[in-house]
Amino acid sequence: MGVYMQESEFKSLLNQVSTTHPEFSSLRQSSWSFFQAKGFPTRKVEEWKYTPANFLKDNTWQMSLKPNSIQTELDSDVYNLVFVDGLLDEKNSDLSLNELEVSVIESAVPTNLSQEEQGQHLKNIESLKEKNKDSLYHLNFSLTPQAICIKLKPNQVLKKPVKITYNYQTSTQNQVFYPFIYFHVGAGSKVEVYESYQAATDESFYANQSINFWIEENANVSYLQLQEFDRGFYLTHYCMAELNAHSNFEAFYYTRNGKLTRNQFDAFVNGEGAACSLNGIYLTDGSSHVDNHTTIRHHKPHTTSQQTFKGILDGSSHVVYNGKIIIDQYAQKVDSSQINKNILLSSKAQIDTKPELEVYADDVKANHGAAIGEMDEQELFYFLSRAIDKEKAQAMLARGYLEDVVFKLKSSSLKLVVDKALDNYFRGTK
């Protein structure tokens, strides 16, 4: 998957997709040029210092543009958007909702919008894209075979969450997928969104994907990424969010293993009164590698944010946490905090944690911290002395350790999803 091979892949893609808007084609080309200039990330790049990206060059990855559909049991308690091998499965997706417009076109703008509205969406996408300086994000944008646009009309409250399921069925080793989603949330609207993953393959594959939120004034978004792979799964995931005045965005990451998972979260708090809450838990063992890179930028005064990530590491797993809060010079009266805590169950497990603050204003509240420790031996002894075996006792303590992070989720629907995932994990039905 060297740059030379990607050049032919890029040209082949442009020949196969039908880009109806020259502006989008231009955006795609600019991202490709960005990737060509920067190349694949290496450990010399500060943001990738602790995460090996050599798997990108050491394997020959193949891209598939063949649409597929599956027989699957859909959840009736949600609005479903199903992707099969990186492409939207229209048959199993809810595409005809009154409140929600989903477009499956390469231009990433709904065809039933006015030319002015189409131009605004492209402008939003360009704005988000230009703020991301990671080369793999631009690789995703330049090579995505489908740019999916989801538009929630103003002043709408969706009764059910939007569930985005990525189902990987590939029978070919070293397949690569580039899903791209742009989600526009209208003023005064409210929506819950969560991404989940399924795989019916034992082959190694790589998903490089992004989901991009543009949140208008007074809108509320709750977002969950649920990743539960135990396979040879490589994932680089990008979440971008633009918050306008008095909007609210809460995001939650649940990550369990995978060969390599790197989540990059970027929020731009660009409206007074806006709030961003970012939380996550990770459970790792074996030789899995999990990297959470988060940045929240406060550009306006009277805004708030908080980040809390907790993890439990076992085996020879390696976790990276790099959380950053940036407060601009004129963003006075900001209230922001972040904390990262970890429990190591194995002497071979490794954590690299780096919470950061960049504060250029003088009237703010901002704090950050990190902690690394082991399971409390006295608490463990308490359970053992009551005839509870060690493995069960550790599971009970671990679940309790993570509970306060889950409690931060304001969305009751998404909290139930996380609670169920934790219950399955600690019952051994992983």
Beta strands per DSSP E along 25-78: 62-63
Q: Which residues contact 428 (CB under 8 A, 6 or more apart)?
A: none
Of 97, 9, 120, which Cα lies nearest the Cα of 61? Answer: 9
If DSSP codes are grouped into helix, strand and coil, which group holds residue 23? helix
- Full 3-state SS string of 289-304: EEEEEEEEEECCCCCE
Half-sphere exposure of 345 (CA within 13 A, CB side): 17
**Which domain does 226 fall in, by range?**
3-376
* Total residue length of the chain: 430
Cα separation of 17 and 107, whole Å?
10
Tokens of 412: 């009751």
Inside any domain, residue 427? no
Tokens of 349: 């497990």
Inside any domain, residue 265? yes
Inside any domain, residue 111? yes
How many independent structural domains does the chain possess? 1
Name residue, tokens 């369990």.
256
How far is it between the farthest Cα atoms of the chain?
71
pLDDT at 2: 47
Tokens of 59: 């394997």
pLDDT at 105: 54
pLDDT at 107: 44
Name residue, tokens 């999803």.
417
Inside any domain, residue 267? yes
Of 370, 365, 374, 394, which Cα lies nearest the Cα of 382? Answer: 394
Inside any domain, residue 418? no
Of 310, 367, 319, which Cα lies nearest the Cα of 340? Answer: 310
**10-residue averages of pLDDT along the chain (430 residues):** 54 60 82 91 91 84 72 83 89 80 61 70 90 94 88 93 90 86 96 91 86 98 91 90 98 92 97 97 94 97 97 94 95 96 93 95 93 74 61 76 93 95 78
Inside any domain, residue 403? no
Distances (CA, A) of 199 to 154, 169, 207, 421: 35, 6, 12, 16
Inside any domain, residue 390? no
Distances (CA, A) of 420 to 160, 319, 368, 399: 18, 23, 30, 12
pLDDT at 120: 83
Of 100, 126, 172, 151, which Cα lies nearest the Cα of 21? Answer: 126
Inside any domain, residue 313? yes
Q: Are 50 and 350 in contact (CB under 8 A)?
A: no
